[in-house]
Structure 1
Amino acid sequence: MCLPLAACTVLPQPPVSQVWLLPAQPGTSASGQAINRSLRVVQPNTSQFINSSRIAVQPQDAEITVYSGSRWSDSVPVLVRNRLTQELRTNGRFISVSSDDDNLQADLELGGDLSAFQGVYRGKKGEVLIQFDAHLVQTSDRRVIASQRFVIRQPINGRSMNEVVAAFGLASDTLAAETLRWLQNTGAIRSPLP
């Protein structure tokens, strides 16, 4: 029974997929005052299309598709959560930083809505676009204590997937750095716990 199936070549062979890690530059450790709070980073909410491991691209106007034969090593919300968690842990200002995978108690929770994480082309010029509407929640009463919109645009310097992925990495680094700066400057997290 197995021999005829193994010899059959009528079915098309699926294309070999390239699996990409999201590149990340090392973050910097803290130099300012410690924040005496624990923080949990959760996967951002996003559209069904972005909530996958496919690498999204807008080749023109409102059309959205994916880069053929390539995918991320994990789903986009997990990649973004992990990048933010990595940056916050490296910085070391919070007494602890966990993710929603850890299921640990935390004073604060960082989440939000990820409405864009894709390559965008206008003619031959391409850029990576990330739009993240972040909110910081006090976990004791689920109250939003701060919110911020981040729109990151990073030029894609070339047409190869290596160059596309590198641009996604730089854009994610910028998002992580700007999110960290925003959290450090949010006065609400320094107020006494209820």
Structure 2
Amino acid sequence: MILRVRLGILLLAVLITSSACSLLPDQTPQRTFLLPATTQPASSEPSLDMTLRLETPRAARLLASPRILVRPNRQEISVYAGTRWNDDAPVLLRDRLIEAFRQDGRLATVVGEGSRVQSDLTLSSDLGAFQSEYNGDQAPQAVIRLDVQLLDESNRNVVASRRFDVRQQSDSPQLESVVDAFGLAADELAIQLVDWTLANTDD
């Protein structure tokens, strides 16, 4: 009887302690960053009556996450502690590229992979890098590497393919500066990708 009472008291103490701990805030606050964007001017050229679909880039598990990655040297990959993007990196980049095509205006319709709209062309891609990298004592660079294939949806043939490798130096090692560099790198990638796609698109 005494043993049962002691076990009951012990169990109650454990439950109370667990409840109290669950109410405490995390020890390390999580900072969430948006990918900065610069509004690009719309093209004055007439729209092409075509629909382009952008698929979410494929990526390795480490890249396919909201973690903000940093490569302090060639042999090591790490993350900025207590920080994250507001979405997985491939999704962030896909949404940025869709918006860039829509702002450019030369294609009549641009949709994501979830749309039921029938498309004429599809951009399929593999994300090979979305990280900051250090080179000696300099401030880190934001690095985005994307291997792209432009597909004809009528036969799924590859119309063109290219690797885009964009690097943007940050003003300082501070995380806010690194995030700004990611935004500028994404802007530059979008400009290059839009122009390349249009150059390989038949009216």
TM-score normalised according to structure 2 size: 0.86
Look up the equivalent residue of 1:49 and give its one-letter code. L
1:94 paired with 2:115, answer no
Deviations 1:3-49 (A, max 9, x none): 4433349x994421100000010022122242221001111111111
Which has the higher mean CA deviation after the structures are superposed, 171-180 or 134-143? 134-143
Which residue of the partner structure matches residue 163 of structure 2? 149
1:190 corresponds to: 202
Equivalences for residues 158-173 of structure 1 within 5 A: 158-173=172-187
| Residue type of the alignment partner of 2:31 | Q
Q: Does 1:52 align with 2:69?
A: no
What's 2:154 paired with?
140
TM-score, normalised with respect to structure 1: 0.90
Q: Is there any run of 5+ residues in structure 1 with no aligned partner, and where?
A: none
**1: CA distance, partners of 2:21 / 2:100:** 50
Q: Distance in 2 between matches of 1:64 and 1:177?
A: 28
Query: CA shift at 1:175, angstroms?
Result: 0.3
Matched pairs, number: 188
Give the superposed CA RMSD. 1.9
For structure 2, the residue ranges without an aligned partner over 5 or more in a row are: 1-11
Verify: 1:84 aligned to 2:97, yes or no: yes
Counterpart of 1:116 (choices 124, 129, 133) is 129
Identity of matched residues, %? 37
One-letter amino acid of the structure 1 residue matched with residue 197 of structure 2: L
SS at match of 1:122: coil
Q: Which runs of 4+ in 1 moved over 2 A?
A: 1-9, 11-14, 101-104
Largest Rg, 1 or 2: 2
Secondary structure of the residue that 1:135 maps to in structure 2?
A: strand
Looking at structure 1, the residues matched to 44 and 153 of structure 2 have their Cα atoms a distance apart, in angstroms, of 27
Q: Which has the higher helix share?
A: 2
